[in-house]
Amino acid sequence: MKKKHTALTISLIIFACLAVLALLCWLWPASGVRVGNLELKWPTLSEVLGTPNDTLVADADTLEIDLLSDTIESVPAPIALSEPQPEPELEQKPESEPKPQRAEQPTITIDTTDFEKSVTSLNYLAAALQQADSVPVRVVYYGDSQIEGDRMTMSVRRALQKAYGGGGVGLLPLHQTVSSRTVIQTLKLSDIAQSTGSGPRRYMAFGPKSARRDSKVYGPMAQCAVMDDSLQHGSERALWTAYAQKKKNTESYFNRVRVLAAPTIAVSVHNAQKIGAGLYALKDSSTAVTVSLNGKGDVYGICLETNHGITVDNVPMRGCAGTIFTSINPKELRDYYRLTNTRLIILQYGGNVVPYTKTTKQVNSYIERVRAQIRFLKKLAPETDFVFVGPSDMVDKSGTDVHTHPAVPAIDASLAKMCAEEGVLYYSLFHAMGGSGAMQAWKTRGWAGSDLVHFTRQGADKAGDMLALWLIDRLKMDDQQPPANNQ
């Protein structure tokens, strides 16, 4: 006679199984376990439980702020410089949480001086655009998740290409893990289509430390894909395709393809002729391209561009605070800027440090780290203009009321001051939105999400449109003279 299991016994068995699975989630290495050519992965507890991973948070690998509290004064209310406009989006959670804060809530002092008029305009970019009909010009737009998926950058690119000519979306990774608003990419490894969660092994200068490499060789996108069968089976034979989401926009059409890859990889661009190192000319202007790559080595990106006008690269770094450039091999960056005639570099960071910034000391620590990045990049690109885009308004929900996080105006003002000191143009997205409380106003217009942190798609478009208009107004200024020293 078979023994019947009681409800209690069945429940105990289920709970025991769940406990074992939870233990595996906790103990299993984040990088996985490799058995020969097979890599075994196991989800983390946060992934299983659906812990939100899209809030604005500092990347623990790229941000190390001194969290010691100090005595500081109250925060004055910021002054709105314009009516509410575009909204920026926020970052993802880091692999590990920042150091815990003390219980008290010290406030932050802010220098409200207007530094806008102390900086020159876009001299190098303006001069280069005068010859853009024959010598194409590059803009490299680095940022956090606010520009991920070509958000904001898309609007800037379209406005500049409409005004000065050019086409293409610029630099793209071999394997796109986040869908883009402008281009659709596919990747096959040994004829097997790769999902966003699969693909070749990647190394990144940002994100989890497990993605770093000792050589610091990441390429201009601060990430690279490695074609190596020992790391990912079948990855030494890749077929990459890209085509425009829509055919009516400036970035949809291109006639040049630039492949940034190790010389050990054989590259073939369909319906194109090689005209230089890694550069291919299409027979006609096109909205789609297929690239075959065979061999073992790094792939740093594939660029869709034109032989005239302006191209704008979108280089998002999810969860990054913008302090990772000094961890990249400088030769790679210098060579890329020279090769592509880069005349403007945009840096959009700051939002990821807001939730963990409680004191003036922490603000100053972050500012000095950003200053070091700017000086590093200016040495690599001495004939390039720089624009720093600060954080958007962000709501602090830690108390009973809803208000702008006190770190936002403090970081915004400190970034403006530092940029003026370093000869860099600063664009205050916080003030462009309308200053303190702007994110709530944007939500009523459908430009911000219910979390009062992220932009909606319409909000990202508006933020990008505002930035684009500001840039073009700067380019139209008549008193542009090359700066005496941009080192």
What pLDDT sits at residue 20? 73
Does residue 2 fall inside a structural domain? no
DSSP state of 297: E
Degrees, nearest 5: CA angle 88-151-187: 140
Using 50, 70 and 90 to split pLDDT, how confident is the model at 41? Answer: low
**At which of 274, 307, 340 does a domain end?**
307
Does residue 238 fall inside a structural domain? yes
Average pLDDT on 64-70 reads: 35
Check whether residue 212 and residue 289 sit in a common domain. yes
Check whether residue 128 and residue 75 sit in a common domain. yes
Note down the domain range covering 40.
7-49
Does residue 482 fall inside a structural domain? yes
Using 50, 70 and 90 to split pLDDT, how confident is the model at 196? Answer: confident
Does residue 103 fall inside a structural domain? yes
Does residue 115 fall inside a structural domain? yes
Check whether residue 475 and residue 460 sit in a common domain. yes
Token pair of 400, please?
A: 């009973």
Check whether residue 130 and residue 195 sit in a common domain. no
Does residue 174 fall inside a structural domain? yes
Check whether residue 192 and residue 275 sit in a common domain. yes
Using 50, 70 and 90 to split pLDDT, how confident is the model at 451? Answer: confident
Question: What percent of the chain lies above the pLDDT cut of 90?
Answer: 66
Does residue 321 fall inside a structural domain? yes
Using 50, 70 and 90 to split pLDDT, how confident is the model at 19? Answer: confident
Check whether residue 247 and residue 276 sit in a common domain. yes
What pLDDT sits at residue 377? 98
Check whether residue 330 and residue 393 sit in a common domain. yes
Q: How far apart are CA 210 and CA 235, in angstroms?
A: 20
Number of structural domains the chain divides into: 3
pLDDT tens profile 29-38: 554 555 554 4
> Residue 255's domain is classified under what CATH number?
2.60.120
pLDDT tens profile 387-396: 999 999 998 8
Mean pLDDT (the chain) is 83
**At which of 33, 49, 65 does a domain end?**
49
235 near 226, Cβ under 8 Å?
yes
Q: How far is CA 75 from CA 201, 328, 395, 417, in A?
A: 46, 36, 15, 17
> Residue 92's domain is classified under what CATH number?
3.40.50.1110
pLDDT for 419 beyond 80 = yes
**At which of 277, 307, 337 does a domain end?**
307
Check whether residue 188 and residue 295 sit in a common domain. yes
pLDDT for 431 beyond 60 = yes
Check whether residue 61 and residue 75 sit in a common domain. yes
pLDDT tens profile 335-373: 999 999 999 999 999 999 999 999 999 999 999 999 999
Q: Give the DSSP H/E element, type plus range, for residue 258.
A: strand 254-261
Q: How far apart are CA 313 and CA 317, in angstroms?
A: 13
Query: Which class for 295: exposed (0-12), middle (13-18), buried (19 or more C-beta within 10 A)?
Result: middle
Strand partners, 34: 39
- Chain-centroid distance of CA 454 in Å reads 15
What pLDDT sits at residue 100? 40
Half-sphere exposure of 429 (CA within 13 A, CB side): 32
Token pair of 399, please?
A: 């108390």
Q: How far is CA 389 from CA 225, 269, 413, in A?
A: 28, 36, 12
Check whether residue 72 and residue 155 sit in a common domain. yes
Check whether residue 270 and residue 127 sit in a common domain. no
pLDDT for 485 beyond 70 = no
Average pLDDT on 39-60 reads: 46
Among 11-15, 257-261, 453-457, the range with the most confident prediction by mean pLDDT is 257-261
Check whether residue 259 and residue 219 sit in a common domain. yes
345 SS3 class? strand
